[in-house]
Amino acid sequence: MAASPALLFRDRNLLARKQSARLDKQNDLGWKLFGKVPLRENAQKDSKKIQKEYEDKAGRPSKPPSPKQNVRKNLDFEPLSTTALILEDRPANLPAKPAEEAQKHRQQYEEMVVQAKKRELKEAQRRKKQLEERCRVEESIGNAVLTWNNEILPNWETMWCSRKVRDLWWQGIPPSVRGKVWSLAIGNELNITHELFDICLARAKERWRSLSTGGSELENEDAGFSAADREASLELIKLDISRTFPNLCIFQQGGPYHDTLHSILGAYTCYRPDVGYVQGMSFIAAVLILNLDTADAFIAFSNLLNKPCQMAFFRVDHGLMLTYFAAFEVFFEENLPKLFAHFKKNNLTPDIYLIDWIFTLYSKSLPLDLACRIWDVFCRDGEEFLFRTALGILKLFEDILTKMDFIHMAQFLTRLPEDLPAEELFASIATIQMQSRNKKWAQVLTALQKDSREMEKGSPALRH
């Protein structure tokens, strides 16, 4: 019996609805597996709801809820700062803030803002002051450069000892003319030429090659100096160069000034084999290299080490070194009697801290820019200023040192603070009087040297 068209149409509709329901159920299961919401649910949202959700996410609510209503919005983000923690309400799963607590947090926030603004203003004022000081210093240096180049250097012989130049010298020589001034002030009593430097450097290179190959063709050139001594001197140069201003990284192996420093020190060992290389020379040569050309640095280096004080220390003349220490103590007791007595009580002798200062001319013990200013006045006043600087350092830290014992004083003086202010140090040095019982440094030193010679000779007058 054939089915009627109406029944067939009804069956087809029923089958279609069942298939559609089965597919919808499968889709729901699929979305649930991935933790998402079926599209048909989203499609039912009207435009007003979508707009409201967008405004909520964008942080533009139409009207903030009042505290009385205790309305809590579900945030889509977490607070990122202390400020947010203070201002935001508590999470929905916690009790809402009381009105008093909310007001207290608002006040704390406002206080934080005020303090932050104060800090910002103070920092801005500090930066402005630093900028003004930097501009002042740069202008002062610029004016000084013009004075040195146009007035002083062209008339060096007549102007270098004038009051005006001495005052400028004390303030610090501008870096651009420092090398020229140092060369003129140190002088060239040894009459070293650029050609002599080239000869010494060539001999040094030949010696390095000879030692590296184990040759002995240069033995006759340095009669009295064993190959072991020469090799030890060259090895010490290599070791010391690696420890010379390590923070600058310019004198170490591969640095731009490594070969230059090595050349100057090697050439000097050939020029003065009787002195050779002594630890600490690398710092003096390095400072000169930073301010002079290679040959001129060698000339200044050789003449500088030929000064009586430097030669006494680098040749390790114990008797003369003790005389310098004795002269220093005369002025130490004259200027700083309280600290002098404290040092004596703790048996802290000058050699413990002075040797390193004198050997390197303070270039290892002080910041480089400050050491260069010490060098400026040292080139003007000579060895006396080295010991005056030592007394200035002791005076600057007198209050600290008088509270220390032997070990702490020795440690402090052999490793001075890295942030030592230049103006404070020079102000301290300016207060030091290098005169004792109407005798100046040179007179005191000469008298002590005479006494020392008489003691060596066993003078009857001194025995009684």
Report the distance separating Cα 135 and Cα 137, nearest Å.
Answer: 5
Report the distance separating Cα 385 and Cα 368, nearest Å.
Answer: 17
Q: What is the pLDDT of residue 236?
A: 85
347 with 406: CB under 8 angstroms?
A: yes
Q: What is the pLDDT of residue 57?
A: 52
Instruction: Work out the number of other CB atoms within 10 angstroms of the CB of residue 272.
Output: 18
Q: What domains appear along the chain, each with residue ranges and CATH number?
A: 102-171 (1.10.10.750), 182-214+224-457 (1.10.472.80)
Bigger pLDDT: 344 vs 15:
344
Q: Does the predicted TM-score (pTM) go above 0.85?
A: no
What angle, 0 to 180 degrees and rounded to 10, lies between the N-to-C axes of helices 368-381 and 175-186?
Answer: 30
Q: What is the pLDDT of residue 37?
A: 45
| Residue 440: its H or E element | strand 439-440
Bigger pLDDT: 175 vs 452:
175
| Residue 280: its H or E element | none
Cα-based angle 145, 148, 149 (whole degrees, multiple of 5): 80
Instruction: Provide the token pair at 408.
Output: 């702490």
Integer angstrom CA distances of residue 14 from 7, 102, 391:
11, 62, 111
- pLDDT per residue as tens digits for the range 218-254: 444 444 555 556 556 777 898 899 999 999 999 999 9
132-136, 259-263, 369-373, 382-386: lowest mean pLDDT where? 132-136
Beta-carbon contacts of 148 under 8 Å, excluding residues fewer than 6 positions away, are 168, 173, 174, 177, 181
Integer angstrom CA distances of residue 365 from 245, 280, 356:
11, 11, 8
Bigger pLDDT: 445 vs 89:
445
pLDDT band at 459 (very low <50, low <70, confident <90, very high): low
Q: Per-residue pLDDT for 45 more than 70?
A: no
Q: What is the pLDDT of residue 73?
A: 46
pLDDT band at 24 (very low <50, low <70, confident <90, very high): low
85-89, 198-202, 287-291, 386-390: lowest mean pLDDT where? 85-89
Residue 439: helix, strand or coil by DSSP? strand
pLDDT band at 9 (very low <50, low <70, confident <90, very high): very low
Q: Per-residue pLDDT for 38 more than 90?
A: no
Helices (H) and strands (E) in the chain, counts: 24, 2
| Residue 371: its H or E element | helix 368-381
| Residue 435: its H or E element | strand 435-436
pLDDT average, residue stretch 313-329: 95
35-49, 136-150, 277-291: lowest mean pLDDT where? 35-49
pLDDT average, residue stretch 185-212: 92
What is the identity of the amino acid at 297? A
Q: Per-residue pLDDT for 214 more than 70?
A: no
Q: Per-residue pLDDT for 34 more than 50?
A: no
